[in-house]
Structure 1
Amino acid sequence: MKIRCSRNTGFYGMASPIEVIKNGEKWFYLNQNDTKQIEVIEQECTIQAKFFFLKSAPFTLIDKGQVINLEITMNPILIFVYVILFGGMFLIPILHLNIGGILIVLVLYFIFVCSLLNKAYVIKEKT
């Protein structure tokens, strides 16, 4: 089966390649706006994108006799949380939050980010 895999993660981590893992083993690296086409012998395989501790959910591919076009993007929820965090930093002096309030917000943010570590990237099939 032929797989065409492209990366479009925006400006998050654009200077560093992400690692694409096939069946739990390192396979290849993709830079920002990069596309690679690879031939796979197996009829079925599972791939996953990884960048340090950020991962995607495993994505299973089944050979259907045609080229499979995949796109790796950042999880929109994670991007939205980054925007809220930076917007919130501008609100801290306006709302006169004390150090306790700031710490509570940071702890909640840390918990949320940890819950998204294995869903930071989204692998989807392009149509």
Structure 2
Amino acid sequence: MKIRCTRNTGFYGMGSPIEIRKNNEKWFYLGQNETKEVELEESECTIQARFFFLKSMPITVSNQNQMIDLEITMNPTLILIYVILFVGMFLIPVLQLNIAGVLLLLVLYFVFVFSILNKAYIIKEKI
């Protein structure tokens, strides 16, 4: 089985490669906008992308006697929350929030971030 894996994550973490894991073991690394083609002996395997504590949901691929073309992207929800955080940092002085309001916003932000850590990357099959 042949797999072609492409990383297209935008500017997030573009200076560092992400680790691609096969059956929960290190397999190879992908840099920004890099594509790698690999040959597999197995007829089925589980693939996951990982960068420090950010992960993707595992995807299981099986042999279809053709090239499997996978693309790794950032989760759009995570990108949206990232933008909201920076806009919020500029709005805090404008809205004159007290320290309790700022702490509440930070707690809500970190709760969301920890809930999405295992879904930061999306692996999808190109058609």
Distance in 2 separating the partners of 1:74 and 1:98: 33
**Map of 1:29-48 to 2, 5 A cutoff?**
29-48=29-48
- 1:36, distance to aligned residue in structure 2 (A): 0.0
RMSD over aligned CA atoms reads 0.4
- Partner residue, 2:115: 115
Secondary structure at 2:32 match in 1: coil
- Partner residue, 1:92: 92
Secondary structure at 2:64 match in 1: coil
Q: For structure 1, which runs of at least 5 residues remain unmatched after alignment? A: none
Secondary structure at 1:66 match in 2: coil
- Partner residue, 1:66: 66
- 1:98, distance to aligned residue in structure 2 (A): 0.8
Distance in 2 separating the partners of 1:51 and 1:84: 22
Runs of 4+ in 1 over 3 A off after TM superposition: none
Deviation by residue 1:55-95 (Cα, 9 ceiling, x = unmatched): 00000001101000000000000000001111111111110
Q: For structure 2, which runs of at least 5 residues remain unmatched after alignment? A: none
Secondary structure at 2:114 match in 1: helix
Deviation by residue 1:8-47 (Cα, 9 ceiling, x = unmatched): 0011000000000000110000000000000001000000
Letter in 1 for 2:70: L
- Partner residue, 2:126: 126
Number of matched residues? Answer: 127
Distance in 2 separating the partners of 1:99 and 1:68: 51
Letter in 2 for 1:15: G
- Partner residue, 1:27: 27
Query: Could you tell me the percent identity over the aligned residues?
Result: 71
Secondary structure at 1:57 match in 2: coil
- TM-score normalised by L of structure 1: 0.99
